[in-house]
Amino acid sequence: MLTEDRIIEETVRIQGSKRVLEGNLAYPCEQASCSALIAGPHPFLGGDRNNNVVRSLSDALASRGMVALSFDYGGVGGSEGGPENRPAAMSAFWKDGAFGEEESWVDDTGSAMASLRQWSGLPQVLMGYSFGCWSVAQNLPESRAAAVVLISPNPGKHSFGRISSCRSPLLLVHSDNDFTCSVSEITDWFDSIRQPKTRIQLAASEHFFRGHEKELAGVVLGFLANHGLLPGADGREDND
């Protein structure tokens, strides 16, 4: 475990095909072993790179010798763009739970993936939390991911069909009391998707994992260690 003075953090600019995004890059002073992209929750639900789950993952990964990139979707923080008609987009979101311009945030995730690959040249793990799970999944066909981590996805709201195009090890982490997706819904979906895969259910963490951030990060670190992506990490996982 690296101490804070052995970790470098910097604000970075990510050049996308249509706009520039702002991100946070955290990495060790020593040679890194792997890289990770962390896609956060929905911007209309307060999602940004300082979200508690995103931040805890970034800190944990950097402290274990990885390069971690988190970013703000278009229209959030210092990132350019966002829906042209935000009130109409928000109205559609609250009515239907999704809207067409969300695809631009999927593109943002792809831009962040490409930038991280260019900057680090290391094997890349893709991580998504909540809405970020779908934005990561949509980019899997072009990802060459070393592993995929999905935290609190909602397969009833978005299609995750593109997961089947990526055969990298997959970790699903969810809570036993997530109000956005029941345990039966998430387990039925998990049972239907491809191998290799691992599912971890945490107790009483709800959708937001407040107060459970260290436990969540430990599960992710253990998964990466078990797949040779994080030498020296210690964790346990259950396979379904």
- Gap between the Cα atoms of 222 and 226, Å rounded: 6
Confidence of residue 231 (pLDDT cuts 50, 70, 90): low
Instruction: Give the bridge partners for 71, in sequence order.
Output: 23
Q: What is the pLDDT of residue 142?
A: 83
Confidence of residue 84 (pLDDT cuts 50, 70, 90): confident
- Gap between the Cα atoms of 70 and 68, Å rounded: 7
Residue 14 reports pLDDT greater than 90: yes
Neighbours of 210 (CB within 10 A): 10
Instruction: Provide mean pLDDT across the span 87-104.
Output: 87
Q: Which domains does the chain have, with CATH numbers?
A: 4-226 (3.40.50.1820)
Higher per-residue confidence, 101 vs 188: 188
Q: What is the pLDDT of residue 101?
A: 82
Angle made by CA atoms 20, 62, 34, in degrees to the nearest 5 = 80
pLDDT tens, 162-173? 999 999 999 999
Residue 111 reports pLDDT greater than 80: yes
**What is the end-to-end Cα distance of the chain in Å, rounded?**
30
pLDDT tens, 33-62? 899 999 999 999 989 999 999 999 999 999
Higher per-residue confidence, 235 vs 171: 171
Instruction: Give the bridge partners for 34, in sequence order.
Output: 66
Burial environment of residue 84 by CB neighbours within 10 A (0 to 12, 13 to 18, 19 or more): exposed
Neighbours of 37 (CB within 10 A): 28
Instruction: Provide mean pLDDT across the span 131-139.
Output: 97
- Mean confidence (pLDDT) of the chain: 92
Q: What is the pLDDT of residue 83?
A: 87
Residue 100 reports pLDDT greater than 70: yes
Assign 3-class secondary structure to 145-164.
CCEEEEECCCCCCCCCHHHH
pLDDT > 90: percent of the chain: 79
